[in-house]
Structure 1
Amino acid sequence: MTHSRKDNSLSKRFPGAIFKTKIVKSMDGTIADVFHKEVYRWRTGAAIIWSVITVPVVFGVYVMLAYVDVLHPSQWISGSLSTLFSVFFVLICFVLLALTGLWCCLCLPTFTVEPEVSGTPLLLAISMCSPQKLGFGLVCFLVSGLSSLLCTGILMGRYQDLTVCTNRDFCVLNEHHLFLVLYGCYTGVIFYLFHFLKQNNYLQFNTIQQSKYFQVRSQILPLLQTSFHCVLQQTIYFYPLYWLFGHIPTGWIVHSLGLRRSALPLDSIYGLLDMGLLWQTVLCGLLVHVSWSLGSLLIKVYITERYCFPIESMLNEKKNQCLIDALQCDQNIIVKYLGYLDLCLLSKHSPERRQITFSLSQPGGHPHNWTKLSTSCLSVITALSEKIQDANWQVFSQASIRSEDIRKPPGNQHGSTLTYRGDNVTKETAPPQPIREASSFWRTKPIISYFLTEFPDAKSRKLFASAQLDIWAVEALCHLVATSYTEDKYGVVQKSLPQILTAVINLQENVEKHMKLASSGRRISGRGALDLPLKYVLHSSLKSCIYRIINVFGVHLLNLDLPSDTSYKLKLFMDFKE
């Protein structure tokens, strides 16, 4: 079955959404289809159910805090309990359950296993305005606004209704109610930005396996702290915004409904100095942030849970659903990630499954399992090594071009660039001087230059966006090679040892050069980005894995048929000079 490049790229960004299209296109029992029907649906369904179950608890805590009265604790407790056991609370809770479940379902397609890196602020803004993300932002806006509207209903008093009728037979706009509803919509927009800009949609896989309960429990306190920090920060910005532009929605509502404004409007400094309103505003933001963040956490924990693929199957209908099929699954990238995670854990902690990996086929006596698994890992390692090598070459060529420009005679109006394509270096003519002058002119403008200036670490982050697969592939191969010294009865692994050493050492050398080139340039600016450690984890994993193989085989590795540069590099590792 063939798949377009567009489908593959979409599956990396929206794994949940692509499963639905693949299931329509193919019903031939591929590993992507089976995983979707038998694993993905159950995991996401369980995550959404648990997210919905936590809503009454979070909403109950919200009611207790909303009715807080330190000076009258007995009234506070009695009022809170009466509200919690009222029919109105149950009805509102059911609506919140439905809204949270809807949000979780629509949030699923936004999760990605590879970080999305934008080169410039302009490209970042364009990516945030894509139809898929804008649709999710609209959902956040509406669901958060409805949730805040329900909160005003449970609060009663001055927050309950949009209008207040006086004894003079006219209605006055209740700005406290409108303020909370607008803040709820604003909270949804902020969470939408937080979800993508802070990489809250980035799926990270844990190599240290823990139960889902312990994973969630360990993340509860950081989740509450992050939510509280975000709510305080967004509230600090909302108050000045309402003071400057609050008259626009209030004026439109007053004019449309024929209402009157109160004598003390909230879009004034004195009107905003209401501690009771501030308390309810913060609680409303916390209700939305905690509920959605908890739902997002549960989804990530369930989706990234380890899945054990069979190494081989004797059943014909299961032959295309083994570990090697997961490693080569490009229809859905999340299956590929789970496959490499399973292989990495297999190589470290599963002697029984390693024996199956080292076994020979019967009849014939061929190491099919090892050949397929090692070939898949080597292809991933080689692909990244070539990408890094090309990127390093581009840096060197640009440095040489800059030096040429410095020594270029003033009369030369057209520069030239060196382009690396495989083994060929070609010379390309630079754009005419007027175009370059126009580009330089616009880049001097402060605002435009900000949007056109490239992030210092963008290229490096793009280069290592899929490095997690290489980390698992390197660790899996090296652990399997190390354990093969005592467990490989037939010596199937040692035949591939020269290829493995060559690929790993080449990748280590290219990563080393890239990190030196990156450190000599501008410092990274993506503080807080969850994908930044990938480059450093890969670098340390490569070194530790090479030393692990050396510790097992020792100087016997020098007897292998290796390229001269690989042998030289290996000798440096043996002498502890790397």
Structure 2
Amino acid sequence: MNTNLTSQQSFTYKDLLLRKLYYSVVCSVLSQLVLLQIYVFASNLNILHPVQWILSTFQVFTSISTWLFIIPFMTIIFAQSIICAKDYVFKPSYCSTRFQKLISVFSVHNLVLLILNVIVGATLVWLFLSLGGGQYQSLTYQCKGQNYCLQEGTFFLILSGFWMGLYYFVKVYISEKHLSFPVVYQRKVLQMKAQLLPLLKESFMLSLAPTAYFIVLYYVWGFTLREGFISSFGLLQEENSNGILIYFYLWTFGAIYYFNMNLMRFFFNLFLTEPIQFPLFKETNESLCLQESINMSSLPIVQNLACLDLHNLAQWSKCRRRAFFTLSQPGGHPHNWNSLVENVLKLFNEYTELLNKSTLSVEKAKPSVPPIAPPCTFQSPDKFRNLRNMTMVSDNGLEDFVNVTQEPLPVFTLPETVVMKLKQKISNLIAILKAVLGINFFFGELPQANIQKCLANGYLIIWTSQGIADIACSSLVEDPFGIVQKDLPGIVTTLVQLKQSLERLSKVPTLARKIAGYDDFNYRMKAAVTMAVKRSLFSICLSFGNYLNEFPLSKDVLSHLNTIYKS
């Protein structure tokens, strides 16, 4: 299952995404079969008769009735994987108010996923109990002649499956959807070996809390649910002791559900973050190329992979770098480099603009100091307005008489200071009413929304800044025509402006070290983006240090570069 696409191949974004999603979904579905087989194999444990143990497990999976149970379950898992893929592929929506966040939680997409999570949780428990055998294999059993009684232990465990699906969706899925790109990419087999055991341990630990919550909930409302189910299906109730073993089953099935969901997310992350090589030459209108993919914000995964490919190309692939240092024939134009630098600078400028907007919104959210009224110039009293001003000089000479004119009746107007005070009191009253009624809380713009959007796209800046800097540094030796040098001042100026915007972002209180913590995603991403941009500028200064004064750079940019280079 190798999804590497060489630079000689031409492909569209549909080819790229479908291939990656195909492997992710197939592996998610097949992993459920493997886990089910392991559970059945463990539940039929018979050390004294190992041959019979293996044969019984084989018979379970080869029977038609077993596949009548498995096929619906696999269909639900397949549908869940397909719908979940949307959150990892398409552009996420960032809500600027709490009301928008509340509305987004109750979207049709989330509603469908919630139903699927709940159904998967209950179906998983029912399937494992049905195929594993034992006391809880069936929901009912024959008792008191021809009547049927409810097996409360099975009912208890199946209800826990519904609860696990609901708890996982609310607690984990809504809050965590971003992909995590590894610092050093390894082969898939090595990643699976490194991640499977930690995921299993994490699943058992994370399932402790929902297991305890469900025990309490069932103790409070279990009798009502059990009696309602018995009356609805005409069953009888017999007192039977389940013992402490049922709580072990409850915890185990909760851990299995968590492990299944974490595996699904792991496979999406495994295949979607796998680096690929984008073509550097666009062959058709629908085919992708590296330069255009850098700004494909509508498909974030394609944009991330393109920026990652630029970073890898700049570091490791001399033959692919050579394509940016060549001229078109005939014509002699550096089309590949012009397209690359245009898209890279566009990405940097958009990111800088969003950073500036974010920091300005945070500063506006702080309480502002009322402005001080400017000093008033001296004016003559109204009763002397008709007297001649002795300081005035006229070229036509001064008249010796006073011209008295009839003035209209004065109109009563409030002083300007009184009007300002009234407006201020009215605005304060409106602000108090909004705070009391909760209008600002629900409908006010969150100043951190744009910051979170910026930091969520931090990988793009990390890879692109280092990639374009490495290409620029390599051009000293590999660029025979000096193609890169003509755009180096623009690259340096844009990176300096980006670094200054990131430094202003460091003053945001919620991103401070003591408030955010070292494990906070926003804090870590802010630090990583800042260091990547600074490292890129340092690399350029290190390579072009003797020639920086010859480039048409402003004094502010040069002084900023000197501080980076000397530090």
**1:179-258 alignment to 2 at 5 Å?**
179-199=156-176, 201-206=177-182, 208-258=184-234
State yes or no: 1:533 paired with 2:499: no
| Contact 2:12–2:286, Cα closer than 8 Å, also in 1 | no
State yes or no: 1:345 paired with 2:319: no
User: Amino acid of the residue matched to residue 265 of structure 2?
Assistant: S
| Contact 2:149–2:236, Cα closer than 8 Å, also in 1 | yes
User: Amino acid of the residue matched to residue 139 of structure 2?
Assistant: L
| Contact 1:63–1:80, Cα closer than 8 Å, also in 2 | no
State yes or no: 1:311 paired with 2:306: no
Cα 1:215–1:255 change in 2 (3 A) is same
Over residues 489-546 of structure 1, what are the superposed CA-to-partner deviations in whole Å (9 max), with x where a residue is unaligned?
1111111111111000111111012102436879655986655532211101011111
Cα 1:41–1:574 change in 2 (3 A) is closer
**CA–CA distance in 2 between the matches of 1:236 and 1:410?**
62
| Contact 1:148–1:180, Cα closer than 8 Å, also in 2 | yes
Structure 1 residue aligned with 2:81: 104
| Contact 1:348–1:476, Cα closer than 8 Å, also in 2 | yes
User: Amino acid of the residue matched to residue 473 of structure 1?
Assistant: T
Over residues 356-403 of structure 1, what are the superposed CA-to-partner deviations in whole Å (9 max), with x where a residue is unaligned?
11111111211111111011111111111122223333444554x522
Structure 1 residue aligned with 2:288: 321
| Contact 2:73–2:120, Cα closer than 8 Å, also in 1 | no
Partner of 1:403: helix, strand, or coil?
A: coil
User: Amino acid of the residue matched to residue 278 of structure 2?
Assistant: F
Structure 2 residue aligned with 1:22: none
| Contact 1:502–1:566, Cα closer than 8 Å, also in 2 | yes
Over residues 1-21 of structure 1, what are the superposed CA-to-partner deviations in whole Å (9 max), with x where a residue is unaligned?
xxxxxxxxxxxxxxxxxxxxx
**1:118-129 alignment to 2 at 5 Å?**
123-129=100-106
Q: Which runs of 5+ in 2 are unaligned?
A: 1-8, 374-416
Structure 1 residue aligned with 2:453: 462
State yes or no: 1:35 paired with 2:4: no
State yes or no: 1:278 paired with 2:255: no
Give the CA deviation at 1:249.
Answer: 2.1
Cα 1:110–1:76 change in 2 (3 A) is farther
User: Amino acid of the residue matched to residue 493 of structure 2?
Assistant: T
**1:507-522 alignment to 2 at 5 Å?**
507-518=498-509
**CA–CA distance in 2 between the matches of 1:362 and 1:92?**
64
Quick one: which of 403, 412, 415 aligns to 2:369?
403
Give the CA deviation at 1:132.
Answer: 0.7
| Contact 2:149–2:238, Cα closer than 8 Å, also in 1 | yes
Give the CA deviation at 1:563.
Answer: 1.8
| Contact 1:32–1:329, Cα closer than 8 Å, also in 2 | no
Give the CA deviation at 1:263.
Answer: 3.0
User: Amino acid of the residue matched to residue 562 of structure 2?
Assistant: K
State yes or no: 1:50 paired with 2:41: no
| Contact 1:413–1:433, Cα closer than 8 Å, also in 2 | no
Cα 1:533–1:140 change in 2 (3 A) is same
TM-score by length of 1: 0.79
User: Amino acid of the residue matched to residue 421 of structure 2?
Assistant: N
| Contact 1:464–1:534, Cα closer than 8 Å, also in 2 | yes
**1:490-509 alignment to 2 at 5 Å?**
490-509=481-500
User: Amino acid of the residue matched to residue 187 of structure 2?
Assistant: S
Cα 1:531–1:74 change in 2 (3 A) is farther
User: Amino acid of the residue matched to residue 143 of structure 1?
Assistant: V
Cα 1:518–1:32 change in 2 (3 A) is farther
| Contact 1:304–1:338, Cα closer than 8 Å, also in 2 | yes
For the aligned residue pairs, the C-alpha RMSD in angstroms reads: 3.5
State yes or no: 1:485 paired with 2:480: no
Give me the identity figure in percent. Answer: 24
Partner of 1:286: helix, strand, or coil?
A: helix
Structure 1 residue aligned with 2:358: 391
Cα 1:553–1:525 change in 2 (3 A) is closer
**CA–CA distance in 1 between the matches of 2:215 and 2:51?**
31
User: Amino acid of the residue matched to residue 350 of structure 2?
Assistant: A
**CA–CA distance in 1 between the matches of 2:91 and 2:426?**
35
Partner of 2:135: helix, strand, or coil?
A: helix
Structure 2 residue aligned with 1:412: 421
Quick one: which of 85, 88, 93 aligns to 2:59?
85
User: Amino acid of the residue matched to residue 362 of structure 1?
Assistant: Q
**CA–CA distance in 1 between the matches of 2:536 and 2:189?**
32
Moved more, 551-560 or 74-83: 74-83
Moved more, 160-169 or 406-415: 406-415
User: Amino acid of the residue matched to residue 186 of structure 1?
Assistant: W
Higher radius of gyration, 1 or 2? 2
Quick one: which of 424, 431, 434 aligns to 1:436?
431
TM-score by length of 2: 0.80
Moved more, 165-174 or 234-243: 165-174
State yes or no: 1:287 paired with 2:263: no
Moved more, 544-553 or 190-199: 190-199
Cα 1:212–1:136 change in 2 (3 A) is same
**CA–CA distance in 1 between the matches of 2:333 and 2:472?**
18
Give the CA deviation at 1:244.
Answer: 1.2
Cα 1:94–1:455 change in 2 (3 A) is same
Structure 1 residue aligned with 2:345: 378
**CA–CA distance in 1 between the matches of 2:245 and 2:445?**
45
**CA–CA distance in 2 between the matches of 1:449 and 1:434?**
13
